Chains A and B, each alone.
Chain A
Amino acid sequence: MNVAEITNLRVDYDEVVAVQGVSFNLEAGKIYGFVGPNGAGKTSTIKAMAGIIEPKLGQIVLDGFNLETQRDKALSHVGYMPDFPPVYERLKVWEYLDVFAAAYGLNERERPAHVRKWIDRVNLNVKSDALIKGLSRGMRQRLVLAKILETNPKILLLDEPASGLDPIARMQMRDLLKQARDEGATILISSHILSELADFVDSVIILEKGKLIVAGSIAEIRERLGGVYRVIVQFEDDIRGSEILTQVAHQRNIDPGRITRDRSRHIVDFGSSQHDATQFLGQLIANGAVLTECMIKSQDIEEIFLKLGAKEVA
């Protein structure tokens, strides 16, 4: 079931088109990575979905409500976290969460326990009574994340939430997001650092120059792209090994262009079939190659992105 449907979205800043013709759907209970280099249109898309900026054209349906015509209903279950967390500098940490718990209908008896729970979850216990203006950027990010999660949104829109967080805080953030996902939330999380997202998102949406390049699960994208399995070998005798490798590649009709070298390592790109890569490795050994290092590696999401960018946006 789709909780968000974006159709033909276009966002302009003056005469600059930031996002053009972008369409995608978000399914309930999934984490989506929103990927693209700086200026790709990620923030504009997220802001348009959060109702912060007005798109020039296109339709945004959130939780079944059209954002243009039923704004209040569409946004009532959306949590939005911008890259620079908006906070009340002169409020204390617990007061900030108290304010937004009230905004989402919790009465004054329920709020103290609720606020304490979320302060604990984002590890801000020791700062509970501190003024927000004294918090670091990372702490502010955690505070705003708690603000968003405490309102139990169906759709979470997070714009570069990991920037400013230390590695431990990043791991905690991932855990919190996974927990939210398990509780039914759909999360769209943007980042220009793909490796940040690769191991915990269910699907990715890749943007480049305001246009959508591809959307789908990482496995699907690998499948569609082709050439995503890679054999990396290092021979005991490099000259002899190279000869065997060329010979086996010739026998298996592998294009020489797919064989590259990184110092003493030989890299051979294969299609989407892991089986071909395994067989190639077996044949090398069968032909007498002595290996000091060998691995079959799936191409990481960063490289897929670069490859897609080069292919489809040129």
Chain B
Amino acid sequence: MNPFNLRNNALFLSCWHERTRPVQLICFFVVLSSILLLMCTIVSKFSRAADEMAAAYLAVFVVIQALIFLVQGTLCAAYIGSREKISGTLDFHRNSPESVRTKIFGLIFGSTWLEWAVFAGLMLIQIPFVWMAEVPWFNFLLWNVSIIMTGLFFHTVGLSLSMLSAKKSRGSAIGILMLIIFLGGPFILAMMEAFDSSLIVYLLGMNAIVYLIQDVDLPTLGYFYWFRLPNLLIQILVQMPIVVLLLQGLSRVFQKPNSPVWSKTHILVFCGYIFACITGFLVAEHNFNPLFRSHSYSRFNQPGDDIFFYIIFYAIVGFLICGACVPSYFKLSKFFALRGSGLIQGVNIMGDGASSVFVLLMYILMGCVFVIPYALIGTESIARSVLAIGMTSLYIAIFAGFLEYFRLSPLRNNRIFFVTVIGVAWIIIPWVSVIMFTDLEFGMETLGGISPFGGIGMAIATLADGLKSEYMTAMIIPIIMLGIIWTMVYHEHQRVKLQSLSLQ
């Protein structure tokens, strides 16, 4: 079946039928026209000359086009994904003889066909204004290509998030998305601004602005590692590999209905790619300095900030990896059951049922490798930088063990218990200990060190002051904890193994 033949694409048709109700379409276009009319009336009050007026109208159409295509399109993609999952119709499509490519194509373009249509319509309307405002046609083309790329990226993210959400809660998918876009976005942006805003600029396609707003001093060329490249190319380099990974995840939704959306391999590749990207922008910044700095999106205030934020970013990614790669009871149990029956299919260290140990080791290795450029560029030694990453990794490994133990133990279904233990063990106890024993010679780093943030603190302290004996003392507590928690995990593995084999 030809995936591009949309009139015979089932998932596209289901969305097409749903969104072609005359009343809904009329209402949508009435609201859209009203907003456009209102905004054009407002901007016309502030513009005098014809070219100014044209530029103002163009800005109105461009903003509305981007909002509908990027925000509404993403929400619709998420809604359609959730709807398929909740209604159970996804199971029908899983079993249909259409190719997975056709299904994914139908899902992505079916859920957003109206937004694509609006995008194309507004693009046509913009043409006379582009001509009147004397915006170069090539820039107009680049703007549209850039927005299309970002739209594709956003829509795929929306769809993927909806597939991650709980089966019965449609609201959660859309809620997560809204949270990320409207609350998480600025937060991440604020954090990344100091860290490496180039990544977030290209990831969110914000570089597109430079094609239309030419009087702003923004770069039309970007810098990545040792290369000076067009912004659009860097945007494609940043967004498209992630789109490919997301599409592979979506294909798993159809092919492996009971497995996580992303495999461990996908997660490691994603993780490595993101590390490679941020390192690329860091290398570029220092390589093209001072030329780069004067035109860069990045603004590091002090030398050494980059490695500081790298460690925070590394820790956040680590916690996310723990959540995604720790196996569920069912998966581990199946892993043992298959191995026990001599069936080796699906039994490998990167399988869904395998322990998170190997992924953690790979993640730590990646963290150590990608910290080297920071050490080379900054003032810290490679050994100290690697040690700092190692300290953070220690805490990530404790958290992974903690999570793995809970996912396998008989208490795994008791979420209240889980949240309570996490809260007490990782937040309350460290803080009570710190308050009670601050006079002890270990200091806050030691006792606060058993919280997940303690690792980051110690890593930063090591970088700043060098390796001191009290940090070595402080390392002992997490190492003991690591030993205890992974011994508990080992015993839980043995229990699940025995249970799985005895029931055969």
Contact = CB atoms under 8 A, between A and B. Distances in A.
Given A14-B329, A88-B14, A103 B257 contact: no
A80 interface: yes
Contacts of B503: 10, 17, 20
A72 B333 contact: no
B18 A75 contact: no
B8 A108 contact: yes
- Residue of B7, B13, B255, B413 most packed against chain A (CB within 10 A): B13
- Residue of A14, A102, A147 most packed against chain B (CB within 10 A): A102
Contacts of B96: 76, 100, 103-104, 151
A90 interface: yes
Contacts of A106: 8
B18 A91 contact: yes
Interface stretch (B85-93, B241-249, B477-485): B85-93
B14 A51 contact: no
Nearest to B98: A103
Interface string A36-47: 000000000000
Nearest to B328: A14
Nearest to B503: A17
Interface in A13-53: 14-15, 17, 20, 50-53
A151 B10 CA distance: 13
Which 7 residue pairs are nearest across A and B when measured between Cβ atoms? A86-B88, A103-B10, A54-B258, A103-B96, A95-B17, A76-B97, A75-B95
A285 interface: no
Contacts of A194: none
Interface stretch (B337-345, B386-394, B433-441): B337-345
A57 B338 contact: yes
B9 interface: yes
Contacts of A90: 18
Contacts of A86: 87-89, 91-92
Nearest to B329: A14
Interface of A: 10, 12, 14-15, 17, 20, 50-54, 56-57, 68-69, 71-72, 75-76, 78, 80, 82, 84, 86-92, 95, 98-100, 102-108, 147, 151
A51 B257 contact: yes
A14 B258 contact: no
A98 B13 contact: yes
Chain A interface SS verdict (over half): loop
Contacts of B330: 12, 14, 54, 56
B445 to A, nearest CB: 41
- Residue of A20, A52, A69, A89 most packed against chain B (CB within 10 A): A52
B8 A57 contact: no
Contacts of B14: 88, 91, 95, 99
Contacts of B95: 50-51, 75-76, 78, 80
Interface of B: 1, 7-10, 13-14, 17-18, 83, 87-89, 91-98, 100, 255, 257-259, 329-330, 333-334, 337-338, 341, 345, 410, 413, 499-500, 503-504
A244 B411 CA distance: 67
Given A12-B333, A69-B345, A103-B10, A98 B17 contact: yes
Contacts of B337: 10, 56-57
Contacts of A10: 337, 503-504
Contacts of A105: 1, 8, 97
Contacts of A103: 10, 92-93, 96-98
19 contacts: A12-B333, A17-B503, A52-B94, A57-B338, A68-B345, A72-B97, A75-B95, A80-B92, A86-B88, A86-B91, A87-B89, A91-B14, A102-B7, A102-B10, A103-B92, A103-B93, A103-B96, A106-B8, A151-B96
Contacts of A91: 14, 17-18
A68 B92 CA distance: 18
Nearest to A151: B96
Nearest to A79: B95
A14 B17 CA distance: 39
Nearest to A54: B258
Contact of A80 (B18, B87, B91): B91
A111 to B, nearest CB: 9
B499 to A, nearest CB: 7
A63 B463 CA distance: 63
Contacts of A104: 96-97
Contact of A52 (B7, B257, B504): B257
A51 B92 CA distance: 10
B351 to A, nearest CB: 13
Contacts of A78: 95
A99 B14 CA distance: 6
A188 B258 CA distance: 23
B329 A88 contact: no
B89 A88 contact: yes
A92 B345 CA distance: 43
Given A14-B413, A92-B17, A108-B8, 13 more contacts: A14-B330, A51-B94, A52-B91, A53-B257, A53-B258, A57-B504, A86-B92, A91-B18, A99-B10, A99-B14, A99-B17, A103-B10, A103-B96
